[in-house]
Structure 1
């Protein structure tokens, strides 16, 4: 298993979600570059999976940020 460096009070799931965001957006960037370059890509009506992952990741990040900012030390 690999070691993830994070602040001491950050939950593991929040760190993993933060590291997942770039992996979710890479296919989007590659698809857009292929479109601009004129390369043939999948059909235009295909469901776009990275778009579906944004809402849960954003919600998790928002909740952790809110909890961290409202906690009294």
Structure 2
């Protein structure tokens, strides 16, 4: 188990939480390539506002993805002391779980919407972008489909760990052995 994980965090939940920033990384790199003027699409960004938007979108996306780590690290259970006014206070489970599950739902809905819109515009994209550009876009953005389910299962594991819903490990073992007797 990693040193800086919360006590009681399950190994699969830790892996899911650490996977979230990794699944958002390829799309961020693709957007950075677009902002740098690399030929990842047939239409380069023409304005400074377009570049600023892409850079801000990338920073916000990675920042939100990194917040998932709070569901398996100690700073997701007790607010770090360096944060003014609330530092050192415990995090209420619902204060972390509700935004995480709302975010997972919004990500899922957004992926359905984008998939629908992209499906309708696919013919136009294929005519303007090269096959390599279209393939690169697909390779970079497909991992984002895993963000919503990874976030949801990590949030549920956090909730179960932080509330009385999850039985203590001793209770689980006791039930397992008493059922066989």
TM more than 0.5: yes
Contact 2:23 2:143 in 1 (8 A): yes
Q: CA RMSD in A?
A: 2.4
Q: Structure 2: how far apart are the matches of 1:58 and 1:46?
A: 21
Q: CA deviation at 1:71?
A: 1.7
Q: Which moved more, 1:40-49 or 1:14-23?
A: 40-49
Contact 2:24 2:147 in 1 (8 A): no
Q: CA deviation at 1:64?
A: 1.1
TM-score, normalization by structure 1: 0.75
Q: Structure 2: how far apart are the matches of 1:63 and 1:11?
A: 12
Gaps of 5+ in 1: none
The answer to whether structure 1 residue 28 and structure 2 residue 27 are counterparts is: yes
Gaps of 5+ in 2: 41-132, 169-181
Q: Which moved more, 1:46-55 or 1:31-40?
A: 46-55
The CA deviation string for residues 18-56 of structure 1, in whole angstroms up to 9 with x for no partner, is: 111121121111111111112122228737212211121
Alignment match, 1:17: 16
Count the aligned residue pairs.
Answer: 71
The answer to whether structure 1 residue 46 and structure 2 residue 45 are counterparts is: no
TM-score, normalization by structure 2: 0.34
Q: Structure 2: how far apart are the matches of 1:64 and 1:22?
A: 18
Which of the pair has the greater relative contact order for Cα pairs under 8 Å at 6+ separation?
1
Q: Structure 2: how far apart are the matches of 1:10 and 1:28?
A: 28
Aligned with 1:62 (options 131, 155, 179): 155
